[in-house]
Amino acid sequence: MSHAERIKAAIDFKEPDRVPMFDSMTWSVNMAGKNLDLIGQKVKDVSFPKWIHNPDIFVESQIKALDRFDHDFVHSRMSSHILAEPMGCMEVEPYWGVPATINTAINRVEDWKTLKFPNMDKDGKIPTQLTAIRMLDKELHEKRGDDVFITGFVRGAFTLAEIVLGVERFMFSMIDKPDETRELIDFCNDVSIECIKAQIDAGADHIYTPDPSASAALISAKFYHDFALPAAQKQSAAIRKYKDKYAHHYHICGNTKDRWDDLAKIGASFVSLDYMISLKEAKESIGQKVAIAGNMPPAGTLLLGTPEMVEEEGKQMIRDAAVGGGYIYWAGCDLPIDCPLENLDKFFEVPKVYGKYPIDL
């Protein structure tokens, strides 16, 4: 089966040839230049800022990761704040780490009307990300005839709204000014949908929309239902309308068991779950309604564990969730960039060895 056939079968709850795998995301920075020889060391050949500002280097490293690990998706995210930054948040770019925002774009929820609606061809890192997607599309889809899923990225609209307003103010505003909060989230959604369309136009097959601020670490299931779910549904519908029913990956961090019913209602092609939940339990519950992905502990196992631990836990994930399709193999969240290469090699080897259908583990 090709990459896309494998993914589509899993999403359709059919058993593909083997369990499909999501990609190595930001860890692929280690594939840039001579970085692979410098894992764990302080000085790198290609720094993180250099990586995300140079589509040539970025794309080459993502393709090297794809060639080495043979995952079924390939990534294009330049920054978690691809939209928050051009909307007015200041961003810092550490030498070795993902960019972070250091302030908010607005101080009062009602000021959402003053937020900038970014120009997708000009503002921030959006054009660079679009260029990377076009290059991946040309190299992989056109030249190689590889239908690997090129993954675009925006934040979930609820989380984007939290970032532009600031977490404490956002939490208060949901209680004190719910109508204005919904207007802010809706504006963020409109911005995100414009960016999603630009990425699909550039050649993305698939959009990854993590929504960490909607986790139970911050808000109750009721707040999720009232604020985050409608936003996620709108975003998901827009993605699937513009592309197809395979195009949306919704991710949420933390323990989400109390909101699985709602997560199944988003409409996403699949939902990836963090390591705090039991994949077996998820498979028996939300996993009957929508395809799920996950959930090896990114820090505990992939960063600090051994290849033996990675193998054991990877096999267990397949055992717990892969039978009958509806499962995509991944970590609980983004892979730490300092994960040892031997752990990553083992991580992506497991589905090739133990994830062949019919599953017999």
Query: What is the smallest separation between the CB atom of 303 and another protein, expressed in angstroms?
Result: 7
Vertex 353 angle, CA 350 and 354, to 5°: 75
In Å, how far are 116, 227, 233 from 238, measured between CA atoms?
21, 18, 9
Query: What is the smallest separation between the CB atom of 16 and another protein, expressed in angstroms?
Result: 30
Buried/exposed code over 47-63 (b: 16+ C-beta within 10 A; e: otherwise)? bbebbbebbebbbbbbb
SS3 content of the chain, % helix, strand, coil (to 5): 50, 10, 35
Which among 299, 310, 294 has a CA at the least distance from the CA of 343? 310
Cβ distance to another protein smaller for residue 100 or 264: 100
* Spatial strand order in the sheet of 327-331: 73-75, 149-153, 206-210, 248-252, 270-273, 291-296, 327-331
Enter the DSSP assignment of 154: -
86 cis-preceded (ω within 30 degrees of 0): no
Cβ distance to another protein smaller for residue 225 or 240: 225
Which among 217, 350, 233 has a CA at the least distance from the CA of 274? 217
In Å, how far are 121, 172, 274, 353 from 315, measured between CA atoms?
43, 43, 17, 9
Query: What is the smallest separation between the CB atom of 119 and another protein, expressed in angstroms?
Result: 26
Query: What is the smallest separation between the CB atom of 19 and another protein, expressed in angstroms?
Result: 24
Cβ distance to another protein smaller for residue 236 or 301: 301
Cβ distance to another protein smaller for residue 129 or 181: 181
Cβ distance to another protein smaller for residue 118 or 166: 166
Cβ distance to another protein smaller for residue 167 or 353: 167
- What is the contact surface with another protein in residues (CB under 8 A)? 94, 97-98, 100-102, 167-168, 171-172, 174-175, 216-220, 223, 253-255, 258, 297-300, 303-304, 333-334, 336-338
Query: What is the smallest separation between the CB atom of 284 and another protein, expressed in angstroms?
Result: 21
Query: What is the smallest separation between the CB atom of 141 and another protein, expressed in angstroms?
Result: 31
